């Protein structure tokens, strides 16, 4: 079976409905039209993590160098600074809290050096501050640091998911981060199947204990750069509320406190941004910790990380020494207007409107009919930029004016037909925008990008844009890279539409013809009316011509990210 068609044959939302229902047909129709289809929330159970989770975790700041006192000091810091009241309310203890061995009953044991009174009093103290309590475990036989994991022993045997989850419930755990080191893969089995089995077992254990715990899955991060990555990203939503897809944010090192860490912010942003099709309220891509405000990050870089994460609706989990955050950093991290962009009920991923070597322009639809716009400056000099409503898919007419609220300065730009951005090096501009009625509803407009699996370079070199010339090239931010996805699924640029004519796509006059419609699958394929895939052939360090080819399974030259 060609598994590449799984999404088209039976999208997730259809799997939950009895066949033959009118609703099924209707959903099928909607799903087929150039939009990935998502499972609806289970009725009768309250949705966990309806907005991206927020909180604090020790790892990027302390790694294993912490005690219960450090955890509680940071919890107090969240309350004292007001960050808890702004939503950073879940305190999670990461790796190294447990011992290497279990007790005679097979229970996990807290490390007595770090937790002399055990874990329960720590959980109680955190709850007593009005905060939620999170804990780390691992789907393998050992955690990443070599301590007792919940998964099957090395070589096979009984796992401890249910037993450990019962223990967590007895402590009052509200949030579980399940890492993915050292997962046992039986002979003849695949790594992907072993991970799925482990995460499914954890999910079943969470249901069995009947205490609501937000479930954060690290499984995809262990497949980053491989074709299996997309398969794993497709199933994590069936089990948990958020998932780490990739490499860790750079940690703080006591011996090298001044090491710059902004590069890891840009890298995690670059792999998270193209994955919008996997997320929705209750299911979030997790780009890893907010290290903004910590050592190795300037205030501009702190603004940038918070705004980028907010544009992506990413979880906001601080990992810093809260007591050492400067008042300026606390003000940035607690900026209510920016946090409201992150926590917006629609939960959209930002659209990449434009990217060049130094700058990204982002656009995000918000609930209530407003929008967010951000301009990131990755370069070393300030940039000035003039943006127009049409850049974001608004109607290009003289009456279309945007009112823009600058979320850092708190000042309003009165209604105007342009938006002026002046952005310092490593900084970001971010506005909440209202559009005049004549602007209409914006179409999905922006870059169509391809991120080749297995490439671990910085994003300047990593991102390839579909150009109207009919090839894929390094993104340059030109108008030739601006596309609109029409409601019927046509890919339109400069007034023409991309048509798969005789195996060679070309730009032709737009019409309502079926051959101009593309289906966009969850795995990221653009599928023609004939069931074939838009492909960018050839080495990905050169201009790659487009072709139409049989869809492969997670073939990196057939995976696209579209405006959301
Ligand atoms: C992995 C995870 C980190 C942290 C460490 C703990 O690297 O990605 O977030 O949990 O393990 O060992």
Q: What is the mean pLDDT of the chain?
A: 91
**Tens of pLDDT, residues 156-195:** 999 999 999 999 999 999 999 999 999 999 999 999 999 9
Task: Flag whether pLDDT at 351 surpasses 80.
Answer: yes
Ligand 1 mutation target, pool 55, 92, 95, most atoms within 8 A of CB:
95
pLDDT of residue 45: 64
Coil/strand/helix, residue 372: strand
**Tens of pLDDT, residues 214-271:** 999 999 999 998 999 999 999 999 999 999 999 999 999 999 999 999 999 999 999 9
Q: Is 539 exposed, middle or buried (0-12, 13-18, 19+ CB in 10 A)?
A: exposed
Task: Flag whether pLDDT at 457 surpasses 50.
Answer: no
pLDDT of residue 157: 97
Task: Flag whether pLDDT at 14 surpasses 70.
Answer: no
CA-nearest residue, atom 11 of ligand 1: 144
Q: Which of 42-46, 217-221, 309-313 shows the lowest mean pLDDT across its residues? A: 42-46
Q: Which of 139-143, 204-208, 231-235, 510-514 shows the lowest mean pLDDT across its residues? A: 510-514
Tell whether ligand 1 has an atom less than 6 A from the beta carbon of residue 462. Answer: no
Task: Flag whether pLDDT at 11 surpasses 50.
Answer: no
Q: What is the 3-state secondary structure (H, E, C) of 233-289?
A: HHHHHHCCCEEECCCCCCCCCCCCCCCCCHHHHHHHHHHHHHHHHHCECCEEEECCC
Q: Which of 27-36, 117-126, 209-218, 401-410 shows the lowest mean pLDDT across its residues? A: 27-36
Question: If pLDDT is split at 50, 70 and 90, which confidence band does 461 have?
Answer: low
Q: Quote the tokens at residue 65.
A: 């160098």
| Nearest atom within ligand 1 for CA of residue 59 | 4
Ligand 1 mutation target, pool 59, 178, 290, most atoms within 8 A of CB:
59
Q: Quote the tokens at residue 107.
A: 């229970």
Question: If pLDDT is split at 50, 70 and 90, which confidence band does 542 have?
Answer: confident
CA within 13 Å, CB half, 95: 22
Question: If pLDDT is split at 50, 70 and 90, which confidence band does 455 have?
Answer: low
- Using alpha carbons, select from 541, 538, 545 the residue that is nearest to residue 463: 541
> Would strands 351-355 and 412-416 be described as parallel, antiparallel, or unpaired?
unpaired
> Would strands 402-406 and 449-451 be described as parallel, antiparallel, or unpaired?
unpaired
What span, in angstroms and rounded, lies between the C-alpha atoms of 62 and 66?
6
- Using alpha carbons, select from 448, 449, 447, 450 the residue that is nearest to residue 556: 450
Tell whether ligand 1 has an atom less than 6 A from the beta carbon of residue 95. Answer: yes
Q: What does the pLDDT average to over 365-394?
A: 97
List Cα–Cα distances, 415 to 176, 337, 436, 442, 500, in angstroms. Answer: 46, 19, 8, 17, 41
What span, in angstroms and rounded, lies between the C-alpha atoms of 210 and 133?
16
**Tens of pLDDT, residues 270-284:** 999 999 999 999 999
Tell whether ligand 1 has an atom less than 6 A from the beta carbon of residue 217. Answer: no
Q: What is the largest CA-CA distance in the chain?
A: 76
CA within 13 Å, CB half, 339: 19
Task: Flag whether pLDDT at 408 surpasses 90.
Answer: yes
pLDDT of residue 541: 79
pLDDT of residue 5: 23
- Using alpha carbons, select from 150, 202, 159 the residue that is nearest to residue 181: 150
Distance 127 CA to ligand 1 centre (A): 24
Encode burial over 396-406: b for 16+ CB neighbours within 10 A, e otherwise: eeeebbbbbbe
What span, in angstroms and rounded, lies between the C-alpha atoms of 92 and 97?
11
CA-nearest residue, atom 9 of ligand 1: 248
Share of the chain above pLDDT 90, in %: 85
What span, in angstroms and rounded, lies between the C-alpha atoms of 159 and 518?
44
Q: Please identify which residue in the block is written with the tokens 């609220």.
A: 405
**Domains, the chain:** 48-342 (3.20.20.70), 351-439 (2.60.40.1180), 446-558 (2.80.10.50)
Tell whether ligand 1 has an atom less than 6 A from the beta carbon of residue 137. Answer: no
Q: Which of 286-300, 411-425, 441-455 shows the lowest mean pLDDT across its residues? A: 441-455
Beta-bridge mates of residue 371 = 365, 433
Task: Flag whether pLDDT at 105 surpasses 50.
Answer: yes
Question: If pLDDT is split at 50, 70 and 90, which confidence band does 361 have?
Answer: very high
| Nearest atom within ligand 1 for CA of residue 244 | 8
pLDDT of residue 338: 98
What residues are labeled active site?
Answer: 179, 248
Question: If pLDDT is split at 50, 70 and 90, which confidence band does 417 have?
Answer: very high
Coil/strand/helix, residue 96: coil
pLDDT of residue 454: 52
Coil/strand/helix, residue 484: strand
pLDDT of residue 516: 95
pLDDT of residue 396: 87
- The Cα angle at residue 463 between residues 392 and 32, in degrees rounded to 5: 60
Q: Which of 158-172, 228-242, 449-463, 518-532 shows the lowest mean pLDDT across its residues? A: 449-463
What span, in angstroms and rounded, lies between the C-alpha atoms of 563 and 553?
22
Task: Flag whether pLDDT at 28 surpasses 50.
Answer: no
Tell whether ligand 1 has an atom less than 6 A from the beta carbon of residue 179. Answer: yes
pLDDT of residue 15: 35
CA-nearest residue, atom 3 of ligand 1: 248
CB 208 within 8 A of CB 200: no
**Tens of pLDDT, residues 471-508:** 999 899 999 999 999 999 999 999 999 999 888 899 99
Alpha helix (H) ranges present in 44-129?
Answer: 59-62, 68-81, 120-128
CB 39 within 8 A of CB 27: no
CA-nearest residue, atom 6 of ligand 1: 95
List Cα–Cα distances, 431 to 203, 326, 334, 434, 439, in angstroms. Answer: 39, 24, 16, 10, 17
| Nearest atom within ligand 1 for CA of residue 177 | 10
């Amino acid at each position: 079976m060609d598994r590449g068609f799984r999404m088209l044959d039976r999208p997730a939302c259809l799997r939950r409905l009895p066949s033959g229902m009118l609703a099924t047909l209707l959903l099928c129709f909607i799903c087929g039209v150039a939009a990935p289809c998502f499972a609806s929330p289970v009725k009768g159970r309250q949705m966990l993590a309806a907005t991206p989770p927020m909180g604090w975790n020790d790892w990027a700041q302390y790694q294993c160098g912490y005690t219960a006192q450090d955890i509680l000091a940071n919890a107090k810091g969240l309350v004292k600074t007001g960050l808890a009241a702004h939503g950073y309310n879940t305190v999670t203890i990461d790796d190294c809290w447990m011992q290497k061995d279990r007790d005679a009953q097979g229970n996990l044991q807290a490390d007595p050096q770090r937790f002399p009174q055990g874990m329960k009093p720590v959980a109680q103290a955190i709850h007593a501050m009005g905060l939620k309590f999170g804990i780390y475990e691992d789907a393998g036989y050992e955690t990443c640091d070599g301590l007792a994991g919940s998964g099957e022993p090395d070589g096979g045997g009984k796992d401890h998911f249910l037993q450990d989850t019962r223990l967590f419930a007895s402590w009052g755990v509200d949030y579980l981060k399940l890492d993915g080191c050292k997962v046992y893969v039986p002979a003849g089995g695949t790594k992907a199947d072993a991970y799925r089995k482990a995460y499914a077992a954890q999910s079943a254990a969470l249901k069995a204990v009947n205490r609501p715990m937000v479930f954060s899955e690290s499984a995809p991060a262990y497949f980053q750069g491989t074709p299996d990555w997309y398969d794993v990203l497709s199933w994590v939503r069936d089990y948990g509320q958020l998932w780490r897809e990739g490499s860790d944010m750079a940690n703080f090192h006591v011996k090298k406190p001044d090491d710059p860490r902004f590069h890891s912010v840009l890298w995690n942003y670059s792999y998270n941004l193209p994955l919008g099709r996997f997320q929705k309220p209750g299911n979030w891509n997790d780009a890893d910790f907010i290290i903004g405000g910590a050592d190795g990050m300037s205030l501009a870089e702190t603004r940038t990380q918070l705004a980028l994460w907010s544009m992506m609706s990413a979880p906001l989990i601080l990992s810093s020494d809260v007591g050492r955050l400067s008042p300026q950093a606390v003000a940035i991290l607690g900026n209510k207007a920016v946090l409201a962009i992150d926590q917006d009920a629609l939960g959209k991923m930002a659209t990449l409107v434009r990217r060049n070597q130094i700058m990204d322009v982002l656009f995000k639809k918000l609930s209530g009919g407003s929008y967010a716009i951000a301009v990131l400056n990755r370069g070393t000099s300030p940039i000035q930029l003039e943006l127009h409503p049409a850049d974001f898919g608004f109607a290009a007419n003289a009456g279309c004016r945007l009112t823009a609220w600058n979320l850092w300065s708190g000042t309003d730009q009165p209604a105007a037909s342009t938006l002026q951005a002046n952005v310092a090096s490593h900084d970001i501009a971010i506005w909440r925008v209202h559009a005049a009625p004549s602007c209409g509803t914006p179409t999905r407009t922006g870059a169509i990008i391809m991120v080749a699996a297995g490439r671990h370079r910085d994003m300047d070199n990593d991102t390839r844009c579909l150009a109207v010339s009919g090839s894929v090239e390094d993104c340059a931010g030109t108008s030739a890279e601006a596309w609109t996805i029409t409601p019927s699924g046509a890919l339109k640029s400069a007034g023409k539409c991309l048509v798969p004519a005789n195996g060679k796509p070309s730009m032709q006059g737009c019409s309502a013809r079926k051959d101009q419609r593309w289906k966009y699958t969850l795995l990221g394929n653009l599928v023609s009316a004939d069931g074939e895939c838009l492909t960018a052939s050839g080495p990905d360090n050169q201009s790659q011509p487009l072709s139409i080819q049989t869809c492969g399974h997670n073939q990196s030259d057939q995976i696209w990210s579209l405006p959301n």
